[in-house]
Amino acid sequence: MSARKLHVDGRNEQLVLGVGVVTGIGLGLQGLSPTGSTVIDWLLLIASAVFVVWSGATAPWWALAAAAGIAAAIAEPWLPLLVGVGVLGLALAVGTARRSQPVERAIVVGAILLVLSTARDLGAFGVSTAVGVLVAITLAAFGLSRRSRRVRRVGYIAAGAAAGVLVIGTLALVLSGTSARPDLTTGEQAARQGLRELKAADFEQAQSSFERAATSFGRAADDVGAVWTAPARLVPVVSQHHRAVDQLASEAAAASSTVATQLGEIDFDALRIVDGRIDIEAVEGLQQPMAELQESLASLDAAVVSAQDPWLVEPLADRLADLRVDIAEQRDLGDKAVIALDRAPAMLGADGERVYFVMFTTPAEARGQGGFMGNYAEITIDEGEIELTDFGRHSDLNRAATEPFDLSEAPADWLAQYGGEGFARGPGRPVATDVWSIYTISPHFPHTARVADILYPQSGGQDLDGVFNLDVYALEQLVGLVGDVEVDGRDAPLNGTNTAEYLLIEQYETDDNAERIDQLEVIARAVTDRLLGGNAPEPIDLGRAMAPMVRERRLMAWMEDPSEQALLELVSMDGAVLGGRGDRDGVHVAINNDGTGKMDSYLERRMVYEETPDGDELSITIKHTAPVESLPDYVTAVSSDLGRGDGRWLVTVYSTRPVTEAWLDDQPIGVNTGQEAGLQTASIKLVLPPDGSATFRVRFGPNTSFDQTKLIVSPQPLVQPERWAYFGDAPRTLESRSVLDR
């Protein structure tokens, strides 16, 4: 039967064509989109289905059976699978009947095409589609081969015309793409450069980059959208590329132009402190331009998203994906800026006077937060007017209390963890009289700030609306911005590169403790006066200088207002221990000086996290390297129960999982366990002689609740870098706050 020629005439031909139309409509309803244009897609699907069904109406039964078997084998849902099996049976029935049966064959072909349209993914994207197209072409070819010469000629002419459109369309895409590619590349590079500059708060350069991007994308859009490229819209896959490039170039040009315009309207210099005042109206005036900038970036992102298509070749798809990543990062930063501008007026006293407590801390004497508080400042802001209303030392606050300190309202888990270190009031356990010297004991800054909020009124201060912490490295950055500070007895002034070294090491080389105290106050007060006076830095410069300090937990803040505290958490300025870890495993080590000496600038720490057959372990090696013999007595002075130069530290491990075992220099020991800030804690007190070292090792319980692919570590901001090493699937060495890949 396969050798003879078959005819489809009269009513049978009409029915076959009808089956083809119905099949094409069915393919369209399946959501197939070979070109990305709705009208062209429907016309193309119906025309293709009619041609294949009409041609396949004379295909041999065994070809129909083979095609039906392939369709059933790769069908995804169970219903198309059953249909495919049924079609296979129908194809076999056609073969056993040994008659032409063009309508029945057409129905089989149409059903095969519909089942193929539901095919599951076969590995790489597009493989299942290629299989379906190949099956359809094969059926059409077998069917045409069994028609008369005249009919075959018509079929071949139709196929040739389609091939011609394919060639012309592909050539049009190649030529237009070749012409537009340099401008597309330049536009994409300029846009990404603008995003990097925007991230670095270089708004002027970012505006220039986006203007270049708009110009380049515009030229590319003109090339791709030219009239002579119209045939490319008719060719499957080719049209996807053409549409993606055309849409990307056009919409990216418009969005880039809008971004450039918005950047020209944003002036962050309006946030600068001038004569002790920030213009609240100017701050509010930035809210709308920033919101519009975010909308423009969203439009640029939408242009990239709409241009993305799984049919795109990998280089273009990769470029679009990379651009989206950059846009997403900037939109995230922009969203935070919009929220900050919304909260800023109230924080600047627009709704009433605000009082803020600023602590100046130094890690020369280690505390869990980083260092002990040497000086403090009280800042009052009302309607943008900023005033320094008090300034002093921690000892002033200790002496100012007229009654014993009361910390009964302190966070319960903070009291449970550290109450025994001088904070628990009760029979035989009063709050220490030098509480302001030791209250920065916790690495969880929200607790430290809350304790300051409780203590300050007891020392004669005002009720607080917020608390800020700056350590000596953050202070050094401010010195670099406001100008050199002269210090009595020192030939060269302090600047943005030597202030921290002076405050941590050089100042302790003098034997005159009173003189040292006066000089420390001079530095902190000079910086504060200049910030609030006529020498305030530009806001952008201030942000660039302080951003690393926030990441290193050397600049932290707390606000009493929940919405303002949420903003600090959003920008990771809240100082929460292991903050932002989500569902990931994490560990932090807090070291507190428990011997009253000021030798912690020389303290070395090395942390090794290791996966062992018995469980994850953390080894903490601490080395006391202070040059005791060359330091003044008041620097090396320690508790009466310690020898000269000896050091004693409270070492606390904060972790998401509890510690189950512990060792000190490989000898099993007991530890004090507890909880704070939702984390497990394990503590010991460690005594070391000069140049001595010890290793505290702990083993954690099994990980049953946390992401096992990541480990969050948050180094304590002391002087010597906290060095981390990880031994597991992939070793890592770190010196800053990091996420360790397991």
Tens digits of residue pLDDT in 205-257: 888 998 998 888 888 777 766 655 656 555 666 666 666 677 777 888 888 88
Give residue 225's pLDDT.
Answer: 62
Structure-model confidence comparison of residues 362 and 150, the more confident one: 362
Tell me the pLDDT tens digit for each residue of 563-577. Answer: 999 999 999 999 999
For residue 634, the one-letter residue type is Y
Q: For the ranges 424-428, 531-535, 731-735, which has the lowest average pLDDT?
A: 731-735
Tokens of 39: 């009208």
Structure-model confidence comparison of residues 705 and 312, the more confident one: 705
Give residue 87's pLDDT.
Answer: 62
* CA distances, 693 to each of 55, 355, 598, 646, 655 (Å): 87, 44, 18, 11, 23
> Which residues, 6 or more positions from 80, have their beta carbon under 8 angstroms from its beta carbon?
114, 115, 118
Residue 570 — φ and ψ, nearest 5°?
Answer: -65, -40
Helix (H, G, I), strand (E, B) or coil at 19: helix
Give residue 739's pLDDT.
Answer: 38
Q: For the ranges 111-120, 172-181, 685-694, which has the lowest average pLDDT?
A: 172-181
**How would DSSP label each residue in 171-215?**
HHHHHHHHHHHHHHHHHHHHHHHHHHHHHTT-HHHHHHHHHHHHH
pLDDT higher than 50, residue 554: yes
Tell me the pLDDT tens digit for each residue of 66-123. Answer: 887 787 777 776 655 566 566 666 666 665 655 667 777 788 888 888 877 877 776 6
Kind of pairing between the strands at 693-700 and 555-559: unpaired
Q: What share of the chain is helix, strand, coil (3-state, %, to 5)?
A: 55, 20, 30
User: Residue 165: which pLDDT band, with cuts at 50, 70 and 90?
Assistant: low
pLDDT higher than 80, residue 167: no
pLDDT higher than 80, residue 41: no
Structure-model confidence comparison of residues 161 and 51, the more confident one: 51
User: Residue 63: which pLDDT band, with cuts at 50, 70 and 90?
Assistant: confident
CB 397 within 8 A of CB 376: yes
Structure-model confidence comparison of residues 168 and 691, the more confident one: 691
Tell me the pLDDT tens digit for each residue of 443-455. Answer: 999 999 999 999 9
> Which residues, 6 or more positions from 428, have their beta carbon under 8 angstroms from its beta carbon?
none
For the chain, domain boundaries: 10-147, 167-347, 354-569, 577-741
Kind of pairing between the strands at 354-367 and 466-471: parallel
**CA–CA separation, 320 and 185 (whole Å):** 11
Give residue 125's pLDDT.
Answer: 59
Considering the chain, what is the average pLDDT of its residues? 82
Tell me the pLDDT tens digit for each residue of 341-362. Answer: 999 999 999 999 999 999 999 9
- Work out the average pLDDT over 129-142: 80
User: Residue 317: which pLDDT band, with cuts at 50, 70 and 90?
Assistant: low
Give residue 483's pLDDT.
Answer: 92
Tell me the pLDDT tens digit for each residue of 185-202. Answer: 788 888 889 888 888 878
Tokens of 48: 């293709």
pLDDT higher than 70, residue 625: yes
Tell me the pLDDT tens digit for each residue of 600-616. Answer: 999 999 999 998 888 89
CB 398 within 8 A of CB 436: yes
pTM of the model: 0.77
**Sheet with 466-471, side-by-side order of all strands:** 385-393, 370-382, 354-367, 466-471, 555-559
Tell me the pLDDT tens digit for each residue of 397-417. Answer: 999 998 889 999 999 999 999
Residue that has been written with the tokens 């609240």 in this structure = 280
CB 350 within 8 A of CB 280: yes
Beta bridge partners of 698: 618, 662
Q: For the ranges 235-249, 367-381, 646-660, which has the lowest average pLDDT?
A: 235-249
**CA–CA separation, 70 and 312 (whole Å):** 27
| Strand blocks (E) in 247-369 | 354-367
The highest-level CATH class for domain 354-569 is: alpha beta
pLDDT higher than 70, residue 740: no
Residue 53 — φ and ψ, nearest 5°?
Answer: -65, -45
CB 327 within 8 A of CB 300: yes
Tell me the pLDDT tens digit for each residue of 452-502. Answer: 999 999 999 999 999 999 999 999 999 999 999 988 878 899 999 999 999
CB 53 within 8 A of CB 113: yes
